[in-house]
Amino acid sequence: MSPSAEEAAQALREIDAIKERAAGFQDYQAESAQLILWGAANSIGLVATALFEQHLLLIWVPLVLLCLVAGALLARRTNALLPGIGWRYLLILGAILFLIVALHAVFWPLSPEQGAMIAPLFVGVLYFLRGVLLRPRYLVIGGALAGLSLLSFLFAGPWFWWAMAMTWGGTLMLSGVWLGRR
């Protein structure tokens, strides 16, 4: 028997809901692995910075390069689910790195602590905006990243690097786990 108009409308609503759910699921899954990767890298880098503050470039350049390679490989793995994610991923990271370098050039001299705040604040605001426009979990993640990092900058004093390893790196990792468990 043919379904009624009401049943047909209900089925179409169901299809739309599943489409949205599937897109969100794929999005969160792709994001999860990246957040864990960059969270772990940042925590390692920040702890290393706390221990060897005079070797900033030696710590961060290889770490970021290594993460870029690993992140690109991860993005390629999820490429099957989200076409075009590979080049978008590299463009986004390129934009973040560009902002860090550009702000250093514009506001030089910056203390290492000030320089270390650029990425967390920028990424935090980016996630917040994505949350407002797209998916609610990003709103929480963005708020937590920017807010907790700022608290570390304002109140951690001599423990800044250690605090950032937890608030910035740790929050990235926890966010990744949270998205993955969706």
Shortest Å distance, C-beta 22 to another protein: 5
The contact set with another protein (CB under 8 A) reads 2-5, 8-9, 11-12, 14-15, 18-19, 21-23, 25-26, 29, 80-81, 83, 182
Closest CA to 53 of 141, 159, 131: 159
CB of 83 or CB of 109, closer to another protein: 83
Shortest Å distance, C-beta 87 to another protein: 17
CB of 23 or CB of 63, closer to another protein: 23
Shortest Å distance, C-beta 79 to another protein: 10
**DSSP class per residue in 130-142:** HHHHT-HHHHHHH
Integer Cα distance of 120 and 148 in angstroms = 9
CA angle 35, 36, 40 (to 5 degrees): 115
CB of 24 or CB of 131, closer to another protein: 24
Shortest Å distance, C-beta 181 to another protein: 10
Q: Do the Cβ atoms of 138 and 123 come closer than 8 Å? A: no
CB of 25 or CB of 107, closer to another protein: 25
Rounded to a whole number, what is the distance in angstroms from the first to the last CA of the chain?
Answer: 38
